[in-house]
Amino acid sequence: MAQPSTYTTDGAGPVIEAKGLGVKFAVNRRRKRSLREMFIHGSKRDPNAEGDDFWPLRDVSFEIAKGDCVGIVGKNGTGKSTLLKMIAGVLIPDEGDVQVHGKVAPLLELRAGFNDNLTGRENVYLVGSLHGMTEKQIDERFEDIIDFAEIKPKFVDTPVRHYSSGMKVRLGFALISQLEHPIMLVDEVLAVGDKAFKLKCYAAIDRMLANERTMVLVSHSEKDLRRFCNRGLYIRNGSLALDTDIDSALEAYNEDTKAEIAERKKRDAAKKKRADGDKNPDDGKSEGDEA
């Protein structure tokens, strides 16, 4: 594969550089607004137009060196996936910038690009080419891909719409893990498939990492994180709270989670006490229930 020339002078300098990264979402404003709404409310009389910007991530800076495997931990909705998307270059930051030296294999949405009306074979060629593989490369690896994805031969030339969702995801993983790009971004995809397939995925990732490749992994599975990562970024409330080894990052995260649970319990207890007074049993809304 063509190596990027001037920037990656092997090992010298980081592969991924993020400087003061921030992204802003406008709540209420512009979000999924229909024209009708715009005409009715007008653009001026939006009650909470200003000061309603929400920064899922702000002022995040880090550098990732070649060969690193970095795990990103944090609660749901703290911008982990957003961060990954900015590294992948599919989301443009509002502040700061991120430089990535080398091509990126995005294991983010494994079914991306599959067209339901095309066969498995056609989809492999299409998506592989979209990611920059040549036809020859795909020819050479086609058997491996199908084999890895455990697609039975009779399904190879069946339209993908007849595949089970598991089959599609497996095919996606099998294909994208064949990319030889130096940087891999992985978002929670290791949760796919049955046990046997998962083991194969682990082996594939181990193989890729052994190849001096850089990986950024977002996951809620401590086991996965500890297994692959040598470094951890802990993101809390939209900013980078810790940049250490993975164990310390997970520890800090667990600590905070524990503190939060204790806090919530206290609040619930207080609420219950109050609710007992006026008999109103609607406390079925415990939101964040991740591991």
Partner 1 sequence: MHAAVRHLVFRAKRTQPLEVAVASRALAVWEHRKVVGLLVRRDLKVKYQQSVLGYAWTMLEPLALTMVYFFVFGVILQADRGMPPEALDHGGFLLYLVAGILPWTSFGAMFGESPRAMITHGKLITTMKVPREIFPMATVGTKFVEYLLTLPVLLAFVVFLGGTFSWTGMLVWLPSAIVLQFVFGLGMTLFLSTVNVMFRDIERMVRIITRLLFYGSAILYPAHMVLQSDIPEWLKTLYQLNPLLGIFQMHRAVWFAGFPELTPTTIALWSSVVGSFLMLVIGYWTFRRLEMSVLKEL
CB-based contact 183:15 (threshold 8 Å): yes
Question: Whole-number minimum distance, CB 19 to partner 1, in Å?
Answer: 12
* Residues in contact with 256: Cβ distance below 8 Å, sequence separation at least 6, in sequence order: 236
Task: CB nearer to partner 1: give 213 or 231.
Answer: 213
Comparing CB distances to partner 1, the nearer of 2 and 291 is: 2
Residue 241 CB, shortest distance to partner 1, in Å, is: 24
Decide: 83 and 54 in contact? Cβ < 8 Å: no
Q: Which residues make Cβ contacts (< 8 Å) with residue 238, sequence separation at least 6?
A: 55, 56, 57, 58, 78, 79
Nearest approach in angstroms of CB 17 to partner 1 is: 12
Between 112 and 191, CB nearer to partner 1: 112
Which 3 state secondary structure label does DSSP give 21?
strand
Gap between the Cα atoms of 173 and 290, Å rounded: 24
Minimum separation from the CB atom of position 4 to partner 1 (A) = 4
Q: Which is nearer to partner 1, 165 or 286 (CB)?
A: 165
Using CB under 8 A, list all residues that contact partner 1. 2-7, 23, 25-26, 30-36, 38, 85, 88-92, 94, 97, 99-104, 106, 108-109, 111-113, 115, 117-118, 122, 126, 129-132
| 39 versus 279: smaller Cβ distance to partner 1 | 39
CA-nearest of 78, 110, 75, 83 to 190 is 110
3-state helix, strand, coil in the chain (%, to 5): 40, 20, 35
Minimum distance of partner 1 from residue 113's CB (angstroms): 5
